[in-house]
Structure 1
């Protein structure tokens, strides 16, 4: 399911217009992005948890030359499925 199909499905389920649903989805992801960027964990109990993770600097190897390279520290994002989402998949 892509974004257009998601917007259409939510609009049909809720009885709202597709433009209203599209605005809500934009706002939803905007808020999640801002909160995770600030380091705040966003949790929707039973469905989803999103948090920022840190990766330490480390030494790696260039696979073509075998030369050791330094990989800088960085941040990533961790998504965790909640119990209701996991149960829906069974």
Structure 2
């Protein structure tokens, strides 16, 4: 399912227009992104939670040449599925 498929499904399930569903989805995604940028955790009970973690700098290898390279530190987004989501998939 891609973004447009999700918008179509949301519009059909909620009985709203596709434009309203798109605006709702973009608002949700924007608010999650803003919260994560601030370093906050976003949690939806039963669905899952997003958090930001720091990944330390490390050394890696260029697969083409085998030469050692430095990989810089960065922040990464992590998602942990909630129990209801996990059990619905299994």
Query: How far 1:4 moved relative to its partner?
Result: 1.3
Q: TM-score w.r.t. structure 1 length?
A: 0.90
Go from structure 1 to structure 2 and tell me whether the alpha carbon gap of 1:9 and 1:65 turns closer, same or farther (over 3 Å shift): closer
Q: Secondary structure at the match of 2:75?
A: strand
Query: C-alpha separation between the residues in 1 aligned to 2:89 and 2:67?
Result: 44
1:56 Cα deviation after fit: 0.5
> What secondary structure sits across from 1:8 in the alignment?
helix
Gap regions ≥5 residues in structure 1: none
Query: How many aligned positions are there?
Result: 90
Q: How large is the Cα RMSD of the aligned pairs?
A: 1.3
**1:74 match:** 74
Of 65-74 and 75-84, deviating more is: 65-74
| CA drift at 1:69 | 2.2
Cross-structure match for 2:25:
25
2:55 aligned residue: 55
- Identify if the C-alpha distance between structure 1 residues 15 and 74 changes in structure 2 by more than 3 Å, giving closer, same or farther: same
**Secondary structure of 2:7's match?**
helix
1:86 is matched with 86
